[in-house]
Structures are given as C-alpha cells and as structure tokens.
Structure 1
Amino acid sequence: MYVYESLDATGFGLLKDAGYRPPFGLIRDPSILRHSDGMYYVAHSTAPAGNQIGLASSSDRVSWTFVGNVTLTASRVGSVWAPKWFIDADGSVNIVVSLRVGGSARGALRPYLIMAKNSSLATWSIPTPLVGLPVGCIEMFIVGVGQMYYAVYRNSRSKRIEFASAPSLTGPYRPCGSPDSVVTDGQGPALIPLDNGGWRLYFEHCVLGGVCFTDSYDTFRTWAAPVELPGLTGVVKQLTVVKEVVPGGVSLPLGRLSLRSGELGSQYWRLVNDVVCLEAVSSDSSTAVRREATFTVVRGLADPNGFSLRGSDGRFLRQDGSRLHLSRFGATESFARDATFAVRRGSDAGSVALESYSYPGRYIRARGRELRLEPYDESYLFGAESSFGIAAAWA
C-alpha cells in the first residue's frame, strides 16, 4: 500500500512507498479512515476468495500496524470485494462492502453494510444488505448530504459509475444518475467534499487509462469534464481519499503587501489597465507604479479561511476565465468565490502559491508578463512560475 498526501486535493505527493504489507494475505482495495481516537485505519480485502476484511492502524499514516482480520460469517460469504469506510452523522463507524454469498467465490456481488460494535473496532455486526441497488454494483462509496445518503458505485454490467440515493443508510436506494463525463467506463470511485461546497469524484477512467477527477456543485446532478490527476496514472489503482482539517500551514498577512515573483526576484505583481502583470519595480519607480504594485489582503469574501486582495482604490482582484483583473465589489456568491483564493506552500522556501476558490486545482501562474489561472501540474516549471514571495508594500 502506497500513501500520498495533498494540500489541495489535486497535487498528491508520495508520503510513503510500500507503506504497509499485511503479515499474510493480500492488501487489495484499501480504504482509509481517521477515527475518533485520532488513529488512522485502513480496511482492505485480503484474497480473491474468502470471508475476511483486513484492518491496519497508524498514528502518522507512515508506520502501519496489523490490527487483525474481521471475519464475515453470515450467509456463507464466499468473496469480499472493496470494503469502504463510512462514518454516519451519529458517529457510528461502518464498512460498506460487496459480497458473494452462498459459499461460492463466483456469481454476482451485492452490497452489504457492517457496523462496528465498539470504538476499538474489534467486533462487528453481521452483514446487512443495502436495499434497492442493482446486482453487480461494486466498489461502493457512501456519503451523507443533509438528510440523504448517496451511494456511488461501479455497475459491473453497464461499465458505468452510477449514483443512488436513500433516506436511510440501508435503503431503499433509488438511482439518481451517472456522471455524464464517465459514462463510458469508470471504476474505483471515491468522493470528498471540497472547501468551496462542491464535491470531487476520483476514479479510474478505463477508456482514457488514467486516474481522474471531476467536480460537482449541484449534489451530483452535473459534473465537470474529467481531469487526469497529475503523477498518479500508471502507479495508483483503487485509491480512496480522506479529507482532514489540520492546524498550521502557510498564510498571507492581513494588510498591505507586495508580491514578488519567486523566479524573477525584481519582478512584482502590478496592475496594468486593471489586469495583473509581472513588472520590474524598484525604489526608483514612480509613486503611481509603486501604488499599482501594492495590494491589501483581507479575509476571503467567500470563506474566512481564504484570502481576498484589493487594489489601492479598494477594488477586488477577481478571476474572469483565466485572467485576473480588478473589479468593483459585487454582492453575489459568484463574485465572492471568484475573488477568494486559498494560500498554499510555494516551491521556494517562504514563498506562497494562490489557488482559486471557485476552481480548486487552478493556480495563479506567470505566463510571460501576464498572470493567469492554470491547472496544477507536477513540473518544476509550474512550481517556479506559481510561487511568489511576500514583500513589504511598495506604497
């Protein structure tokens, strides 16, 4: 099992290669959980046939310890497929798993639920079937949104990733669509909430041959075009992602400052005809130029954990497509989102990178003289051109 981590749900870096091997059996389809005791737990299937789920734990996601195997005895389980964690609103810890019952490792897989009977995860309930889902749905991942439960899974018959919803965890589920962008052939779905209220679906695109993601902002009804996850294609299969809020990290100081190119130290952000560019600025520059290279940082209009930037005349820096320009305040949700940025670590010590709040995974990047929003990639050039140093305000 390999472990990766990301600050932005897009750029994943390797935390630990070959991070865990069970003492016996296989580790297939691992799913990760952060438990109430602060420990991380992984559940995985252990063999193509059999009736067990393997569990391992870690305090740091780097060093893992075998906890034990959970044996599923009800209905003569013949095969266990892709266990996935789900924590309900009441705090109960569950695993959703596809099973072949009747004692055979052949035949159709059906979704079941087991619930931990204690906080140590030592004992579990007998498998309970999830009602209303099609035969052959596998690799199921469940999330709760409001009063509803949403299941996303691979339909092994239609070869599609599909969604179903239910008023209770065990069903009855009713189909509620499929991501338009992955109707061809997708597998291994995993869902996480984004900071800006959207949802991100990770999956393996069997036709394109890569690990991809797509985002939805209307509770899974419509989806953006799939984007390949940088650096993971050909390496990762059957990933799951857990989102955490952790203390610390980089930030922008509130108040006036200037931002310097991490690659070209004498070049600073400067407003030219209300568009942000990189320009040489020095103490010999005119008062107007130094004012155009000064910004005021405030708490994010859409999210106080993010940041918004204002020019010297009080107007806000806002994205418009891939460009950045000044715009007068607009009391709309879309304006607030487009004028908010998340601050990430830059590639150079002490530098920052600014990620779009409206479009997670897109960063402010120097393209020649102009600054533009572009999708993250793992290249050295991207890191250099999207990193900026914090400098004292020119005006």
Structure 2
Amino acid sequence: MNVQAQSKKETYLFAYFKDNGEDGLHLAYSTDAYNWTTLKNDKSFLTPTISNDKLMRDPCILRGADGLFHMVWTVSWKSNGIGYASSKDLINWSAQQFLPVMEKEEGVGNSWAPEITFDNKSKTYMIYWSSTIKGKFSETLLKKDDKNNNRIYYVTTKDFKSFSPTKLLYEPGFNVIDASIVNDNDKFVMFLKDETKEPVQKNIKIAHSDNLTGPYSKASEPITGNYWAEGPTSLKLGNEWIVYFDKYTEHKYGAIKSNDLNTWTDVSDKISLPKGLRHGTIITITKKELKKLQKQ
C-alpha cells in the first residue's frame, strides 16, 4: 500500500503486525514520516477470527472512494484465500470475511501479502497477492524448495461484494512476492520483492505500467542493498519517494529515498519505528481521526 502526500503537515498511519500475526492489527502514527509512535500502547485494534490459523499478517488498508477504510490481510501460511474487513474509523470493524480468491486453481500453496490499489480512471479497486500454484513456472522452481515459486495474481471489484475472475498480474521470470502498487500521475509503479534463492536475490525491485492491471515492465535492478529485504511500502512527500521495508533477517526496518525512482539513498539510520513491527502499509489520516485513535 502506498500513499501520496501533498504536505509535510500530513498525519501518516502505519498498519502492521507483530510476531506471527496472532493478535491482529497494530497501528502507529507519524507527522514527519520518519519517527513513528505506537497507538493503544501497541495493543491490537482487531483480533483475527477467520481461517484455521486465525492470523492477520501483512495488513493493507486503503481509504476507499466510498469513505470507508478497506483492509485485506494474509490469513494463513497455507491458504487459497485472504481476509477482508472494512471500517469507518479504524476502530470499529465489519465482520471479517474470507475471500477465496484462488479457489478455482488446483494445487494452490499460499495466498500472501494482499494489497489494494484504486484506479481513478475506471473507479475500480484491484486486490493482488502472491501465490504458488503447483506445476506452474517450473523453470524457476528449486528442487529443495518446491513449494515456494510465487507469481502475482489479482481480482478487481467496485464494491468489495462481487469480484472479477482471478488473473495473473505479473510474471517477471522469477519467484516474486510482496507487490505494492502506487498510482503516480495516472501511471503505476510496482515495488516488489525478488524472492530468488539461487543465485540469491532477496531484494526490492521496481516495475512500471500505464494501466493498473498491466502489463508491467521488466523488473529493475535492485534498489535495496546487500541485505535481505521484503514487504516494501512507500510514501511520496512532494517529489521525494520513501520506501520502507523489513530487513527481516536483521530484525529491523530499513528505508531508502529517491527523487526519480532510479537513484536511491539509504536513510535507515534516520527512521524510528516500533519495536517488533513487521510487514505493513501506510496511509494518511486526518488529525481528527488520529485523536480518536489516541483515545483507544
């Protein structure tokens, strides 16, 4: 999930999970995009109730054109669907729903890190995630890791009640997860994780498209450094992009910034995020909305 900000006076909200996602949705806020403070003493705002595993990993929240906050998340390490709920205030949530987005595919191993992006032109939402389907894209399948060979899939919806058939969104020629797409002047920028283990990549790359549903360009060279990174989420402050990501093997968060999406500067030492924060997404909220959240 990505957000564009017109002013540095915006209030930013980071939705994230901790540990394995058992206790649900955590929220933190910032007014400068660098220093983040937990809300509700870092206790959960929403406890997961669906799927056998009852997890709420990788939460992605989008403020919809209808004024509601729409959230999707990973419900399990192994599932053919994702979680969905909506809210007017980020405090009181609708009943949690399981969306079986991959139920018509045989041999689905997982549905990970779903996100939502809105298309202003068609007034349509696209929900997208990564899945492994047994027997597909065998050219990038590793014998010792034959259950992890992801590509990005999607559905579209106008109302979060009826959904288009599931389609393949991105096949970059490698194992790919954690796609996060932002609308940039009616063109689309996809941040993604190259999940290749041999030879090892485990980094963040970029792809571009003129249309939300693609086709997307060949993936760029890595924009992150010599460490394993995942779960990118971005913010645009004026002309400056900031991409946050989980340096998951180091158990800390990183960030890079750029004015052109080509040349990147590491600003990891300038950010301060809640301890234990895992893969999440950022939106803007109003000061009034923040005050309500601070009372929880």
Q: Which moved more, 1:130-139 or 1:49-58?
A: 130-139
Matching of residue 173 in structure 1 with residue 217 in structure 2: yes
Task: After TM superposition, list the pairs within 5 Å mapping 1:287-302 onto structure 2.
Answer: none
Q: Which amino acid aligns with 2:190?
A: A
TM-score of the superposed pair, with normalisation by structure 2:
0.74
**Residue identity (%):** 22
Q: Which amino acid aligns with 1:9?
A: A
On the 8 A contact 2:74/2:113 being kept in 1, the answer is yes
| C-alpha distance in structure 2 between counterparts of 1:103 and 1:178, whole Å | 28
| C-alpha distance in structure 1 between counterparts of 2:149 and 2:62, whole Å | 28
Higher relative contact order (CA 8 A, sep 6+): 2
Partner of 2:48: 22
For residues 96-126 of structure 1, give each alpha carbon's deviation from its aligned partner in whole angstroms, at most 9, with x where no partner exists: 200122499924111111111x32x112112
Partner of 1:95: 127
Partner of 1:236: 277
**What SS class does the counterpart of residue 282 from structure 2 fall into?**
coil
| C-alpha distance in structure 1 between counterparts of 2:227 and 2:254, whole Å | 13
| C-alpha distance in structure 1 between counterparts of 2:49 and 2:71, whole Å | 14
**What SS class does the counterpart of residue 95 from structure 2 fall into?**
strand
On the 8 A contact 1:161/1:183 being kept in 2, the answer is no
Partner of 1:133: 172
Aligned-residue offset at 1:66? 2.6
On the 8 A contact 1:140/1:152 being kept in 2, the answer is yes
Aligned length: 242
Larger radius of gyration: 1
Matching of residue 106 in structure 1 with residue 137 in structure 2: no
Partner of 2:225: 182
1:98/1:142 Cα in 2 relative to 1: closer, same or farther (>3 Å)? Answer: same
| C-alpha distance in structure 1 between counterparts of 2:227 and 2:185, whole Å | 30
Q: Aligned match of 2:263 in 222, 227, 245? A: 222
Partner of 2:202: 159
Q: Aligned match of 1:210 in 246, 252, 255? A: 252
On the 8 A contact 1:177/1:221 being kept in 2, the answer is no
Partner of 2:242: 200
Aligned-residue offset at 1:191? 1.2
| C-alpha distance in structure 2 between counterparts of 1:172 and 1:248, whole Å | 38
Moved over 4 A (4+): 102-105
Q: Which amino acid aligns with 1:39?
A: L
Q: Which structure 2 residue ranges, 5 or more long, are not aligned?
A: 1-24, 137-145, 290-296
TM-score of the superposed pair, with normalisation by structure 1:
0.57
| C-alpha distance in structure 1 between counterparts of 2:288 and 2:88, whole Å | 18
| C-alpha distance in structure 2 between counterparts of 1:125 and 1:81, whole Å | 19
On the 8 A contact 2:49/2:96 being kept in 1, the answer is no
Q: Which amino acid aligns with 2:247?
A: H
On the 8 A contact 1:85/1:95 being kept in 2, the answer is yes
Aligned-residue offset at 1:177? 2.8
Partner of 1:310: none
| C-alpha distance in structure 1 between counterparts of 2:148 and 2:26, whole Å | 31
Aligned-residue offset at 1:248? 7.5
Aligned-residue offset at 1:150? 1.7
Q: Aligned match of 1:2 in 13, 26, 30? A: 26
Aligned-residue offset at 1:31? 0.7
On the 8 A contact 1:201/1:214 being kept in 2, the answer is yes
Aligned-residue offset at 1:27? 0.9
CA RMSD of aligned residues (A): 2.4
On the 8 A contact 1:3/1:61 being kept in 2, the answer is no
1:34/1:248 Cα in 2 relative to 1: closer, same or farther (>3 Å)? Answer: closer
Q: Aligned match of 2:116 in 85, 99, 124? A: 85
Partner of 1:123: 162
Partner of 1:317: none
| C-alpha distance in structure 1 between counterparts of 2:133 and 2:181, whole Å | 22
Aligned-residue offset at 1:206? 3.6
On the 8 A contact 2:134/2:147 being kept in 1, the answer is no
Q: Which structure 1 residue ranges, 5 or more long, are not aligned?
A: 250-395
For residues 220-246 of structure 1, give each alpha carbon's deviation from its aligned partner in whole angstroms, at most 9, with x where no partner exists: 1011123243142x42100111134x3
Partner of 1:71: 100
